Amino acid sequence: MDLAYSHTQSQRVLKQRNMLLVTSLAFAGLSAVLGITAASRDREVVLQPVLRTPLTISSAGVSREYLEAVTRDAAVLTLNRTPQSLEYWMTSVLEMVHPSAYGQVKADLLKIVDDQRGSSIAQFFTVESMKVDPGGLTSEVTGVLHTMVGRQEVSANQKTFRYGWVYNGLSLKLVQFGMVEKVDPRKAVSS
């Protein structure tokens, strides 16, 4: 009798073990599928509203609205400077720059700082229009660049500036910026 009872108990424990193994394998498979799904899914972060609507960024790419907002802020930061704010200006611009372009951009900014330090020349930019290309990660800002010497405005010229960006993960960084040189149609035809 003890042998039959012992055999029945062993069979019940074996059956429970097999059910536990099947359940564990099912949960492991489900965890693997969910992990792969989560890893391949585009990530999205909701940003504080700075415009009329809340902005989001996604690992799938940069939205037109986000690129426009970042370009607007970059234009204000890069094109507005005074001799008193040069250090802050340079540090702030460099915080936006991608590591691959950091050395070149810093060298260019140092030339501007050296030229403008100790002078009374300031500049500010008023934005008139903007074109953004989220696919090409470029943007152009057109407006009036005002140059001041002391309190006197000495020039106000319409200029266009181009910004180039790189997007990794959820990080948009500046790789280049500069003034767009306009081609004189008379020179282009005569050449």
| Residue 70 covered by a domain | yes
Let me know whether 33 and 118 are in one domain: no
Let me know whether 16 and 62 are in one domain: no
pLDDT of residue 65: 85
Instruction: Measure the N-to-C terminal CA separation of the chain; round to a whole number of Å.
Output: 111
> In which domain, by residue range, is 56 found?
52-183
Cβ neighbourhood burial of 66 (10 Å; 0-12, 13-18, 19+) = buried
Let me know whether 20 and 87 are in one domain: no
C-alpha 56/C-alpha 101 separation (Å) is: 26
Q: Token pair 């003890």 is at which residue?
A: 2
CATH value at residue 131: 3.10.450.230
Let me know whether 159 and 132 are in one domain: yes
C-alpha 169/C-alpha 139 separation (Å) is: 20
Task: Tally the domains of the chain.
Answer: 2
> CA angle at residue 121 from 154 to 112, to 5 degrees?
125
Let me know whether 144 and 57 are in one domain: yes
Per-residue pLDDT reduced to its tens digit, 143-186: 999 999 988 999 999 999 999 999 987 888 999 999 988 755 55
Per-residue pLDDT reduced to its tens digit, 20-37: 999 999 999 999 988 888
Per-residue pLDDT reduced to its tens digit, 54-95: 666 777 788 888 889 889 999 999 999 998 889 999 999 999
Let me know whether 91 and 11 are in one domain: no
Let me know whether 62 and 21 are in one domain: no
Let me know whether 115 and 174 are in one domain: yes
Let me know whether 31 and 61 are in one domain: no
C-alpha 95/C-alpha 84 separation (Å) is: 19
C-alpha 145/C-alpha 107 separation (Å) is: 22
| Residue 112 covered by a domain | yes
Task: For the chain, give the number of residues.
Answer: 191
| Residue 190 covered by a domain | no
What's the token pair of residue 27? 């949960």
Q: Token pair 């180039």 is at which residue?
A: 164
Strand partners, 176: 164
Let me know whether 62 and 27 are in one domain: no
Let me know whether 15 and 88 are in one domain: no
